[in-house]
């Protein structure tokens, strides 16, 4: 193999008699360079976006979510808490209650999802502080109830959550309303003071407002009831074991979902987009590999005399095939590794400096996130080698097949 490799390197880097071969070889290497660089950059950006989405969704989606199998709510009983406390996988848990409600501030109104949370909620969602943009993270203080609203909700209501002194009115439909002729008959109404605003993404910022659980239970006539139990586990690796323990302890009356199952469609879309884009770029590289076929075919024509000499010296035709296969791999890999180097540099600059900004406005991320993974580099390298072998095989077979017919004429 050393002989074939040395000859292949000699053919690759030596100057050819026909300038067209040099040009086509450079084009082949450049095609692999840019194709490889594009693959690494795209995969790294998708990895970064996936991590970003997961971190954002972690604010609203716990490690494990539990809901009632039948109905919208379930009772918060001492027996239920005792069962939860007996499970060692659980680090913290909280009871929440979600309902759509009408919010009114000054002369503006907005329908959003109001989420009642208990005092343990911020132990389950520990990174909520990082998303606060105005005011303070306060829900209850000195027997006064406060609310946290998404920045989009605050904008639609026309309020500054950090400086407002007027309360927000919350309207909830009465369960047993006998008449809907007036707001008083149709809705329960209560007032609450805004304490701060958070910004995660438009999906959440225009949708959610947080209030104390006991306050919202009274407003919705769901005394001592919850619509969801949210759990943070001690070790994320134990998610499946924790779900199994919870299902066995709580019984069939509860539906238990992991964070992935709560957002299964979203995660599948992220993965499918990544690999569909990968497949499209690989197809482009396959088309670009036709340059390798052209370059090697012309090189075979130029090196017929060399091939004949090697055959006369006892080199088997399989070794001739190996020479041109290695030539094709070297031609591609040189460009590919340079492309990987450029991609690595660009990714580091994007992480440290920020070259390409995110479109629109965001409170959290100004530039496209990137995350390089060794598995992506390995996958791209494998793709390049396979494409090179396939592209080089036909010219290599042609070179070996022509030897027996023509090499004597070159030696005579």
Kindly state whether residues 375 and 305 are assigned to the same domain. yes
Kindly state whether residues 128 and 216 are assigned to the same domain. yes
Kindly state whether residues 106 and 226 are assigned to the same domain. yes
Q: Which residues pair with 150 in a beta bridge?
A: 198
Q: What is the pLDDT of residue 147?
A: 92
The confidence band for 12, taking pLDDT boundaries of 50, 70 and 90, is low
Kindly state whether residues 232 and 253 are assigned to the same domain. yes
15-68 tens-digit pLDDT = 655 566 667 777 777 888 888 998 999 899 989 888 887 777 777 788 899 999
The tally of domains found in the chain comes to: 2
Q: List the beta strands (DSSP E) in 129-186.
A: 132-135, 140-141, 144-150, 168-173
Kindly state whether residues 275 and 382 are assigned to the same domain. yes
Q: Which of residues 261, 287, 312 is at a domain's end? A: 261
At which residue do the structure tokens 């309902």 appear?
99
Q: Which of residues 236, 261, 286 is at a domain's end? A: 261
Measured in residues, the chain has a length of: 412
Kindly state whether residues 251 and 280 are assigned to the same domain. no
Kindly state whether residues 130 and 172 are assigned to the same domain. yes
Kindly state whether residues 157 and 22 are assigned to the same domain. no
Q: In which domain, by residue range, is 177 found?
A: 64-261
311-352 tens-digit pLDDT = 667 677 677 777 777 777 787 788 889 999 999 999 999 988
Q: Are 150 and 204 in contact (CB under 8 A)?
A: yes
The residue with greater pLDDT, 367 or 24, is 367
Residue range 92-110: average pLDDT? Answer: 92
Q: Is 301 strand, coil or helix?
A: helix
Q: What is the pLDDT of residue 179?
A: 53
282-300 tens-digit pLDDT = 888 888 777 777 777 777 6
Q: Is 367 strand, coil or helix?
A: strand
The confidence band for 94, taking pLDDT boundaries of 50, 70 and 90, is very high
Kindly state whether residues 52 and 131 are assigned to the same domain. no
Q: Are 75 and 224 in contact (CB under 8 A)?
A: yes
Mean pLDDT of all residues belonging to the chain: 82
Residue range 192-200: average pLDDT? Answer: 89
Q: Are 395 and 347 in contact (CB under 8 A)?
A: no
Q: Are 372 and 347 in contact (CB under 8 A)?
A: yes
The confidence band for 366, taking pLDDT boundaries of 50, 70 and 90, is confident
Residue range 392-401: average pLDDT? Answer: 72
Kindly state whether residues 210 and 140 are assigned to the same domain. yes
In this structure, the dihedral spanned by the alpha carbons of residues 159, 163, 169 and 170, taken in order and rounded to 10 degrees, is 80
Kindly state whether residues 85 and 132 are assigned to the same domain. yes
- Of 203-207, 209-213, 268-272, least confident by mean pLDDT is 268-272
Residue range 245-253: average pLDDT? Answer: 91
Kindly state whether residues 198 and 270 are assigned to the same domain. no
Q: Which of residues 261, 278, 293 is at a domain's end? A: 261
């Amino acid at each position: 193999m050393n002989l074939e490799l040395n000859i292949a390197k000699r053919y690759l880097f030596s100057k050819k008699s026909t300038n067209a071969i040099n040009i086509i070889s450079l084009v082949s290497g450049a095609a692999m360079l840019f194709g490889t660089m594009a693959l690494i950059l795209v995969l790294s950006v998708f990895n970064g976006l996936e991590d970003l989405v997961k971190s954002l969704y972690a604010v609203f989606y716990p490690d494990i979510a539990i809901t009632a199998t039948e109905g919208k709510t379930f009772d918060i009983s001492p027996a239920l808490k005792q069962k939860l406390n007996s499970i060692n996988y659980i680090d913290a848990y909280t009871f929440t209650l979600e309902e759509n409600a009408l919010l009114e501030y000054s002369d503006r109104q907005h329908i959003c999802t109001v989420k009642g949370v208990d005092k343990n909620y911020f132990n389950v969602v520990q990174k909520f502080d990082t998303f606060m943009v105005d005011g303070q993270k306060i829900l209850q203080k000195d027997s006064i109830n406060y609310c946290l609203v998404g920045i989009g909700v605050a904008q639609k209501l026309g309020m500054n959550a950090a400086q407002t002194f007027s309360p927000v009115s919350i309207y909830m439909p009465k369960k047993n309303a006998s008449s809907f002729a007036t707001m008083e008959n149709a809705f329960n109404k209560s007032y609450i003071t805004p304490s701060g605003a958070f910004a995660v993404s438009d999906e959440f910022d225009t949708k959610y407002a947080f209030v104390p659980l006991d306050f919202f239970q009274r407003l919705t006539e769901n005394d001592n009831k919850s619509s969801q139990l949210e759990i943070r586990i001690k070790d994320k690796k134990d998610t499946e074991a924790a779900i199994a323990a919870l299902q066995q302890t709580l019984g069939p009356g509860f539906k238990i979902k992991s964070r992935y199952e709560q957002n299964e469609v979203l995660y599948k879309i992220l993965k499918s987009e990544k690999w569909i884009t990968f497949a499209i770029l690989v197809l482009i590289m396959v088309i670009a590999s036709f340059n390798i076929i052209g370059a090697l075919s012309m090189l075979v024509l130029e090196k017929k005399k060399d091939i004949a000499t090697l055959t006369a010296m006892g080199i088997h035709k399989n070794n001739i095939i190996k020479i041109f296969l290695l030539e094709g791999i070297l031609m591609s890999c040189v460009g590919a590794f340079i492309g990987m180097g450029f991609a690595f540099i660009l990714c580091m600059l994007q992480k440290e400096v920020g070259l390409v900004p995110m479109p629109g406005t965001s409170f959290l991320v100004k530039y496209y996130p990137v995350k390089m993974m060794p598995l992506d580099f390995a996958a791209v390298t494998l793709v390049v080698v396979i494409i090179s072998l396939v592209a080089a095989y036909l010219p290599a077979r042609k070179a070996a097949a022509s030897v027996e017919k023509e090499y004597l004429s070159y030696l005579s």
